[in-house]
A = this chain, B = another copy of it.
């Protein structure tokens, strides 16, 4: 797990050159601990120790503990949504994914890769969203408005093509998203003993059958 997380932080450090070495250590340590024990139950003292940094150093970079949390979660949220907000998505769509199933498959694969890279940060996000209105607002701002809009277009696209049922697009999205998230959660909880390829196929079969257009 530590391995995967390194990637995220490495990206951060490579992309954002303004970050001090110590600052990076703080971000790594905080991510680790927030994921494990939760934001409220993690003390800045612990983070400092784990990061090999003086406690004061944390507050030199982040005015408050909460700012530290947001500085971890916010960029993830932006990145998470990036692929869906790219302007020429429609073009890509039309060309690349003749069938809804192909789109589904591509999206699942893409999200899976993202999750593997950002597992801890996503975990923090999900754990903390009930307690911080800032997170909820960010989520609504980004996902609720932008992503949902995109997805609606996409769903309508395939509905027009007659490939999927004519339910309201939001409902289609909800059913699809629930299924995929249920898959990720179960996989994450089960851990081993999990035949990935098989399960994905079954899930896609289920989705395609469930969403198929009434003849």
A residues apposed to B, CB below 8 Å:
37-38, 40-41, 123, 127, 130-131, 167, 171, 174-175, 177-179, 181-183, 185-186, 199, 202-203, 206-207, 209-212
Contact = CB atoms under 8 A, between A and B. Distances in A.
A183 B179 contact: no
A185 B178 CA distance: 9
A202 B167 contact: yes
A206 B175 contact: yes
A179 to B, nearest CB: 5
Contacts of A186: 174, 178
Contacts of A203: 175
Given A38-B40, A40-B41, A130-B127, A199 B171 contact: yes
Interface pairs A-B: 3 shortest CB-CB: A178-B182, A210-B210, A40-B40
A177 B123 CA distance: 21
Q: Is the interface of A mostly helix, strand, loop or mixed?
A: helix
Contact of A131 (B41, B130, B171, B185): B41
Contacts of A183: 174, 178
A186 B181 CA distance: 13
A186 B176 CA distance: 13
Nearest to A37: B131
5 contacts: A40-B41, A123-B130, A178-B183, A179-B179, A181-B182
Contact of A182 (B40, B167, B177, B202): B177
Contact of A130 (B38, B206, B212): B38
A131 B203 CA distance: 29
A173 B84 CA distance: 30
A90 to B, nearest CB: 26
